[in-house]
Structure formats: structure tokens, C-alpha cells
Chain A
Amino acid sequence: MSSVAPEPVVDETVVDDGSAHRESIWAKTVYKLRRDRLGMVGLSVVLLYFIVAIGVWLGIWATEWGDVEGPKWAPMSAEYWFGTNIIGQDVFARAIYSTKTAFEVGLVVAVLSTIIGALLGALAGFFSGTWIDEIILWLKGVLDSIPFYLFVAAVAFALSGNPYAMHIAMVSTFWTTTGRLVRGEVIKLKNFEFVEAARAIGVPQVVIIFRHILPNTFHILLVQATIVFVAAIKSEVILSFLGLGVQDGVSWGLMIAESTQEVLAGFFNNFVWASVFLFGLVMAFNMFSDALQDALDPRKVASE
């Protein structure tokens, strides 16, 4: 991590954590993160979920999520830990399997929208005031003024049942905030001496943008990625309820959508357990994201 381009941050007082060498912003971030108890709890929980997701992906557990063998709406028991649903599927297996779905949606959307936001934001910022900037800002304005759920619905129907319609719609709208933040930071960075120096020795523009400037916005990208991850998982729930979400497999959103038919009849297993799993992951991610923001940006006042 410490191999990123020269740090524009000057006049840093070295935090004494026992190591003598000059510290990069990343070493300091890790140091601050490790002292943030809530943040570390959040990170551990996220990692736990991640291990569960990897296990599902490797086919180690929850392979029976689709099997229809139990009795209908069985209560919680030793055999069916969280009971069964309307057609006798094991709610526990489905909740575990959904962890993989959540990470799939969250990671795909977070990574892609961060990359797009970084690229477009860097271009807009570096060429601020030119037509390139104008076009990117216009695109951002347009995407921001279409109501999100309607946009997703439109994309889903335009792609007629493509299982990635939801991902595509989320990526195409979620990059805008990242893009705006990166643009602002790049406008600030491009006047720093290290950029001037690179220009003076004839480094090509593309290299300046992507090798010298963009790595210095990495702290923004990291925080934004965590925020988008959470937003993607939460949107998936709503979209699945509207019938626009996950098409194959199962997700917490689908389980909750399924439960809307049964809660009024008194069957709460689907609803409660999908909600608990979802809440746990989102809450942990939010806590980690907060800690990361505090550690990366001392001026941030999110939770001092």
C-alpha cells in the first residue's frame, strides 16, 4: 500500500506506535483503525460473513438451500434451525446461501462503480472547465435526475430478464457520487508541485492522471466503495421486493419479499432471519466504514 505515488500531505507529525521509520498515511490509517474498537468489531463481523460467503461459493455449506423436503412452515427445531418456508425449504440454509448473493451484488457493484467513478471523476477534474468536464457533469446530472427505482425498472425491462440488469442499473447510477468527490479532489491535486514537476519533466498527461494523481484519491475511493457496497445490498432488498432483483438463486431480499405474504398469517421465520442477517452485515459494514473515514481523514466529523 505504501508504494502509491508521492504523498501531497506535508507537515505530518509522526505518531509514535513503537516503529521508528517515517510513516505513510496507510500505516497511520491501519494504526488508527486498530485502536477503533467499534470499527474492528465491524470489520471482524464483515470478515465472518465473508468466510460464510466463500464457504457457500466453494459449496461447503448451505448446498441444500433449494431442496424442497421439509414440512410446510415448520417451526424452529433442531433439524430446521430457523424453520421452513411455505414450500418446506430450510430457512437457515437459504439465509446462509444469501450471504453469497449479498457479497456478489455488493462487490460487483462497489468495484465497478468505484472504477467508473474514479475514471470519469479524474478526467472531469483534470480537464475541469473544458468540454470533457461539461459532458461528464451533464451525464451525472441526467443520471441523478431519473428516479432510481424507475431507472432500474426501465433497465430491467429493456434488458428483458438479463440477470445482471439490477447490477447494471446500480453501477450506472452509483458512480456519480464517487465521481463528484474524485473530481473535486483532482481539481485540488492538479495544482500541487508534484504534478507540476511531473509535467515539467515531460510526463504524458495520461500518466500524470492515472499514475500520479489518481492514486492520491485512493482514500476517497476506499470509503466510497464501502458506502456503495452497503447501498447495493440495501437496494437489492427493495428491488427483489419489486420483482426486479436477483433472478436466480436466493437473497435476503427475495426472502423478505416472500415473507410479505406470510407475516400477516403469523409466520415470521423468513422475515426475521433474513432481516437479522441483512441488518448484521449492513450494520457491521457501516461501523467499519465510519472507522475507516475517521482513520483516513482526521477532519471528518462522522463520529468523533
Chain B
Amino acid sequence: MEVLQYAIRKLLGGIPLVLGVTFISFLLMVYFGPDKTYELLGKNPTQEQIDEIRHELGYDKPFMVRYGEYLKQMATLDFGASDSTGEPVSKVLARTVPISLALITPGFILGNVLGILLALIAAYHRSGPIDKYIMGFSVVGMSISFLIVVIAFQIIFSSSYGLNAFPVRGWNVHSFSDYLRYITVPTLATIFVALGYNTRFYRAVLVEEMTRDHVRTAKAFGTRPGKLLYKNILKNSMIPIITRIMFSIPLVVVSGSLIIESYFGIPGIGKVTYDAITTGDQPILKAVVGLTAVLFVITLLITDILYRVVDPRVSLK
């Protein structure tokens, strides 16, 4: 009951955030966004034709009225059909979101799990050679651009100059083995880049916990290293770890896969959104931006509840 009350209050508290995001997106993507008037007109239009189209598109209405309509569509989940293909927005989302999730999830999970493992090893051997190697690797990983990794991995794994073992681009998935073939190279690239940042962040968190008194005491009592790392250090570091993982989820869902999707020609939500911005496909933009903002608010809520789960001292006030 307490959690439910808290959830409702938190969701209501998220309204200003959603309003802010929708306002900025409206301002940038619709009000100052691409003007579609001339795309819909024939050659040599008369002034009346121009005015008529502008009226149809709602361009002649005052700013606040247009923003109000935008919000109303958002609130009623009535996004209409895509301007460029005529496909209903809900269908576009239903088609592309699963592809993006299938593409990004393995890399996201492995990137974080391996990051934590490497960080544990590095933190355990703090200042030793193993730690130095791992941290050196992580600085290198941080310094290479994602795009370079993607291109290099494509050359290594998918081209005739390398292993030539995986498809270069596209998304022609009919079975699980197809799926594995198509996601291998993108996933490896994602993990490689994520590892640099993740390992470093997690190591800093773990090392901070390791210097606490309770860890020293546990060590003095002769706790085995494995148990010490898991129970005394990792479990007590869960709050920053959860924060990092949770907060990257909304961004990963939309823009995290944009580069991979456009480079590998995979028809996911990131690619669709990017195309929608460049062509001014407003129904899709509204849906994506609005849903991302809502996803953010929900993530904030779940994160707070997770804090409570890992640390009962945290109160949901």
C-alpha cells in the first residue's frame, strides 16, 4: 500500500518533466521543424492553395493552440498515421521496437555483467598488475569512438578482408540462428565500447566500498575473498550500480541503437525516429518523444523502488 501510494505520487510528480520534454520536442521538431507545405503542393501553387494547405496542416494557428493539440493527441495516445508511409504509428512501433530490443538487449546485459566482473577483479587486485591491465584496457576502450569500433568489427568479422563470417548489413531474421548471425557483430561492438566506461565506473564504486571499515573488519575475521567480494562489497554497492543501469535503459531503447541500426541497416526504432526527424514525420516523432519521456518517469519510479529492495533503510517518502 505504501509502495502504491508512493508510485502514484511519483508518477504525478513526473508530469512537469513530461510536459517539459514534450514542450521542447514540440518547439524543435514541430514549430521550428521541417515545413511540409511545399511537399504537398503541385508545381507553381497559387497563394490560396498554399494557404489552404497551411490551414490543413494547422500552421496558421497560434503557438499555444498547436501545442495544446499536440498534448491532447499525446494524452489520448492518438498518434495517427505516419506522414511518409501512411502506416499507423502504433503499427510502426509494434514492428520496430521488438527489433531494437532484440538487437540491443544482449549487448546491454553482457556489457554490464562483464563490466561488473572485470571491476570486481580489478578492485580485488587493486594497484596490482592485473588492475593496471584492466584499467589500461578500459581507458583504451573509452578512447575509441563507437563508430570506429563498429567499422573495424565489420571489417574483421563481415568482410572478405577478415573472417567474412557474418552478414554485412540488413535484418533478415527467420530463425534463432539467423538472429544470432545478425546480432553478433553489433553486440560485440556494443560490449567493447560499453566495457570501457562500465568497468571504470563500477571499479570506482567497488573500491570506495572496499575502503570502508566493515570490509576491513570482515577481512580481519577471515571472510573468504569470494564471499567478501559478493556479500560485503558488491551487495553494498548496489545503489550506484542500479542507478547507472536503470538510467541508461530509456536512452538505450531509443538512441543507443541509432548508430548500429543506421550502420547495419536494421529497421529498428532508432532508425525510424531518425528518419522521422529528417523528413518531418511528426506523428512518429510525437509518439517516440512522448513515450521516451514517460519511460523516463517510470524508470525513475522503478529505480526508487529498487533502492528500497536492495537497501531496506531507504524510505519511500
**Once bound together, how far apart are the Cα atoms of A287 and B142, in whole Å?**
11
**A49 contacts chain B at the CB level, 8 A cutoff:** no
Some 20 contacts from A to B, beta carbons below 8 A apart, are A141-B17, A143-B24, A145-B17, A146-B292, A147-B258, A149-B258, A150-B255, A154-B277, A158-B32, A241-B263, A242-B262, A260-B151, A264-B168, A268-B155, A278-B148, A282-B144, A283-B140, A301-B207, A304-B126, A304-B207
Interface of B is mostly: helix
**Contact check: which of B143, B251, B254 meets A286 at CB < 8 Å?**
B143
Q: Which residues of B contact A237 (CB under 8 A)?
A: 145, 147-148
Those 5 A-B pairs whose CB atoms lie nearest each other, nearest first: A147-B255, A142-B20, A158-B32, A283-B143, A154-B28
**B52 contacts chain A at the CB level, 8 A cutoff:** no
**Once bound together, how far apart are the Cα atoms of A242 and B250, in whole Å?**
21
**Once bound together, how far apart are the Cα atoms of A138 and B17, in whole Å?**
7
Contact A301 B204, beta carbon cutoff 8 Å:
yes
Q: Which residues of B contact A139 (CB under 8 A)?
A: 20
Contact B135 A263, beta carbon cutoff 8 Å:
no
Q: Other than the known A279-B144, A301-B203, what 14 A-B pairs have Cβ atoms closer than 8 Å?
A: A146-B293, A150-B274, A157-B277, A234-B146, A237-B147, A242-B259, A256-B151, A263-B154, A264-B159, A266-B161, A271-B148, A283-B140, A283-B143, A286-B142
How near does chain A come to B274, taking the closest CB pair, in angstroms?
6
Contact A301 B208, beta carbon cutoff 8 Å:
yes
Contact B277 A302, beta carbon cutoff 8 Å:
no
**B127 contacts chain A at the CB level, 8 A cutoff:** yes
**B33 contacts chain A at the CB level, 8 A cutoff:** yes
Contact A271 B151, beta carbon cutoff 8 Å:
yes
How near does chain B come to A225, taking the closest CB pair, in angstroms?
17
Interface centre among A143, A149, A234, A266 (most CB of B within 10 A): A149
Interface of A toward B, CB cutoff 8 Å: 138-139, 141-143, 145-151, 153-155, 157-159, 234, 237-238, 241-242, 253, 256, 259-260, 263-264, 266, 268, 271, 275, 278-279, 282-283, 286-287, 290, 301-304
**Contact check: which of B27, B155, B203, B255 meets A148 at CB < 8 Å?**
B255
CB 8 Å contact bits of B4-45 with A (1 = contact, 0 = none): 000000000000110011001101110011100000000000
Do A153 and B143 form a contact, CB below 8 Å, given A146-B289, A148-B255, A301-B207?
A: no
**B278 contacts chain A at the CB level, 8 A cutoff:** yes
Do A154 and B127 form a contact, CB below 8 Å, given A145-B292, A146-B289, A263-B151?
A: no
**B296 contacts chain A at the CB level, 8 A cutoff:** yes
CB 8 Å contact bits of B122-157 with A (1 = contact, 0 = none): 000011000000010001101111111001101100
The residue in chain A whose Cβ has the minimal distance to the Cβ of B273 is A150
Q: Which residues of B contact A268 (CB under 8 A)?
A: 155
The residue in chain A whose Cβ has the minimal distance to the Cβ of B210 is A301
**Once bound together, how far apart are the Cα atoms of A257 and B49, in whole Å?**
41
Q: Which residues of A contact B286 (CB under 8 A)?
A: none
**Contact check: which of A151, A155, A256, A283 meets B147 at CB < 8 Å?**
A256
Do A275 and B148 form a contact, CB below 8 Å, given A153-B278, A242-B262, A266-B161?
A: yes
